[in-house]
Structure 1
Amino acid sequence: MSTPPSLLRRSLVALALPAVAQAQPRFPSRPVRIVSGFAPGGATDVLARLMAERLSLLWRQPVAVENRPGAGGNIAAEYVARAAPDGLVLLLGTSAQVQSAGLFARLPYHPLRDFTPLLLMAEYPVVLVVTPSMPARSLAAFVDYARAHPGDVTMASSGIGNTPHLAALLLAQMAGIEFTHVQYTGAALAQAAVLNGEVRAAFQSMLLAKPAIADGREIALGTTGSGRWPELSDVPTIAEQGYPGYEAGSWFGIQAPPRMAPDLVAQLAGDLATAFRDPALRTRLAAAGFGMREAGPDGFARVMAEDYARWAEVLRRAGIPPE
């Protein structure tokens, strides 16, 4: 008995389907871009380029870093938020995205809804330092002095709403004290103001502060991370000095545009985690002052949501309205 021609054709098509599926190119089939909202050479750029190198090897496709600096990272964030969700355009996201929510009445993107978190990679806490002329050698003494002399403690930062400024606001609110904020046009100028005695205190990045702490030009009173910083292991965290839950610093992670297919999210998250676990990459990040803080899509989303709410409340309580 012969097989009907129509049935034979259907059988041949069915047999061919597995081969067709196997022939589909694995993501990515084209070059990928990691967009950074900051200028080349900074800490964010270092992290982006290290990840791009590892991903290029893993994917066997070029992965380029595209710098789109400006507006505190908002230009790059808006660009990625509007990109196609095909995985070919990614964002080196930072905590500045969610911190911006309390500063701007209108943003060209929503800090939570317009991004797909893929991998939280690293954090960068800051350290509270004072000038040696300040009559305090511990956080407790510093708080006591500030409480006894409201507004007398001048606190330098490089801008309203950035991490050092927010770290100072959070401490002031938790300790019930007041600082006089003095704004400079960059972190280096803010540190110079501490070193020459123009201001009495500042929250500074670890790499910036470490040399001045080592030679006694600045006194470290506490770090802002969830645990002690390896490079300053003798300096206790602010949280362990009587302010449980205190945590302030910058985080860094890879995000994608919104509405990305779940299977692509899973593959990207897995590939990014594989690249990030490269020992050589981690060694170079540690040398640049980063701390490892790894979380997948769900954990990263929780960090973003918590910081979004927390910093908006800190700014509201400080009486700093969105502009």
Structure 2
Amino acid sequence: MNNKHNPGISRRSLMAGMGGVALAAPASAAFPDRPVRLVVPYAAGGGTDVVSRLVAQAITARLGQPVVVENRTGGGVVGGSEFVARAAPDGYTLLVATTSHTVNPTLLPSLPYDTERDFAPVAMFSEVPMALIVHPAVPAADARAFLALLRARPGAFTYGSAGVGSTPHLAGELLRLLAGVDILHVAYRGNGPALQDLVAGQIQFMFDPVSTASALVRSGSVRALAISTRTPSPVFPGVPTLEEAGVAGFDCRTWNAALAPARTPPEAVARLNEAIIAALAEPALRARFAELGANPGEPMPPAAISTFITHEIERWGDVVRRSAMRPA
């Protein structure tokens, strides 16, 4: 299978070439009539897992069937993604995809599935902005001063990430490219070890989801200088975005979306999309998301999510290529 992304071919045209609805598995007349499996390609307890379980619980009542979260780790999300790509296209097995889903086609050109052709977008779950956090000893009072410091001392500052191709790594490389700074990257096996070294002063800064960065900022272990998205975060009132600090076009976040195997019947996708969008509008769920520093996903139809994923593949593919990023 050809795994290379071709921006000139849309998912819609690919589906048409494959026969579209003619190849779809038959849907139950009363979908769903049995439990739905939500595959999370990350370990239990992490941000994606927590959000997924909240959504699963919220849509169980709406669907009238249990929505069961199944953690399938390994291979940098590839194992879980391949499992869903090969699952029966009947709406009963879904993948919780993240930003990594759209980075891997460029970073890992030998994927055992096609990132666009082998999946059918269902609904957005959430998005989480990141905070640019620094060790307290960094001599910069705000983001503009920090950027000036990076430019004045090329190669002197090191940032950490959860690993090559992780969203914090992408944010660091985007900062390097857009701000024109010379910074050094250290890849860790997860955000936890990177945060430990930041607190210890072994690295000087990193990007971290606001949900986990907030506790460290409150304790005084690190300082937050900027937000990675184009809109500020209520978790850090008064902290500017990087775009407001002078880095034009900077926008980076973690996001979660539900995807089904390709050729899943449109009526099943529509039923799932409707249930998820309705659940994300519930005040109780929105309140829990706010506690986590997460924003509910935009109520997009599947076609808009397909366009979003294509755009993300193109955008992060450019960053991967310009950074000469290589898998660890």
TM-score (norm 2): 0.86
Aligned position for 2:67 = 63
Which residue in 2 is equivalent to 1:227? 231
- Mapped partners of 1:210, 1:54: distance in 2: 26
Contact 2:162/2:190, CA 8 A, preserved across alignment: yes
Corresponding position of 1:106: 110
CA contact (8 A) 2:158 2:205 kept: yes
For residue 240 of structure 1, give the secondary structure of its aligned residue in structure 2.
Answer: coil
Q: Sequence identity of aligned pairs in percent?
A: 38
CA contact (8 A) 2:134 2:223 kept: yes
Residue 261 of structure 1 pairs with residue 261 of structure 2 = no
Q: Is 1:237 matched up with 2:241?
A: yes
Q: State the alpha-carbon separation in 1 of the partners of residues 212 and 58 from structure 2.
A: 28
What are the superposed Cα offsets for residues 112-160 of structure 1, whole Å, 9 maximum, x if unpaired? 2211111112111211111121121222221221112111011112211
Determine whether 1:126 maps to 2:160: no
Q: Is the 8 A contact 1:118 1:265 kept in 2?
A: yes
**1:162 aligns to what?**
166
Deviation, 1:216, is: 2.9
Could you tell me which amino acid in structure 2 is paired with residue 116 of structure 1? A
Structure 2 runs not aligned, ≥5 long = 1-27
| Secondary structure at 2:33 match in 1 | coil
SS class of match (1:273): helix
Q: CA RMSD in A?
A: 1.7
Secondary structure, aligned partner of 2:235:
helix
Do the aligned residues in 1 keep the contact of 2:165 with 2:327 (CA within 8 Å)? Answer: no
1:115 to 75, 95, 119: 119
Q: How does 1:134-213 map to 2 (within 5 A)?
A: 134-213=138-217
| 1:322 Cα offset (Å) | 6.2
Q: Sort the Cα spacing of 1:302 and 1:25 in 2 relative to 1 into closer, same or farther, 3 A.
A: closer
1:43 aligned to 2:47? yes
Are 2:164 and 2:325, in contact at CA under 8 Å, matched by a contact in 1? no
Tell me which of 315, 319, 322 is aligned to 2:320. 315
Aligned residues: 300
**Inter-partner Cα distance in structure 2 for 1:59 and 1:275:** 11
Q: Name the aligned partner's letter for residue 325 of structure 2.
A: I
Q: Which runs of 5+ in 1 are unaligned?
A: 1-23
In structure 1, C-alpha distance between the alignment counterparts of 2:117 and 2:237, rounded to whole Å: 38
Under a length normalisation based on structure 1, what TM-score does the superposition of the two structures give? 0.88
Q: Can you list the C-alpha shifts for 1:152-211, whole angstroms capped at 9, x where unaligned?
A: 011112211101111000011001111111222221221121212111111112132212
Query: Of Structure 1 and Structure 2, which has the larger fraction of its residues in helix?
Result: 1
Q: Distance in 1 between matches of 2:51 and 2:144?
A: 35
Give secondary structure in 1 for the equivalent of 2:38: strand
The 2-side partners of 1:74 and 1:82 are apart by 12
Which amino acid counterpart does residue 299 of structure 1 have in structure 2?
A
Is 2:306 the counterpart of 1:305?
no
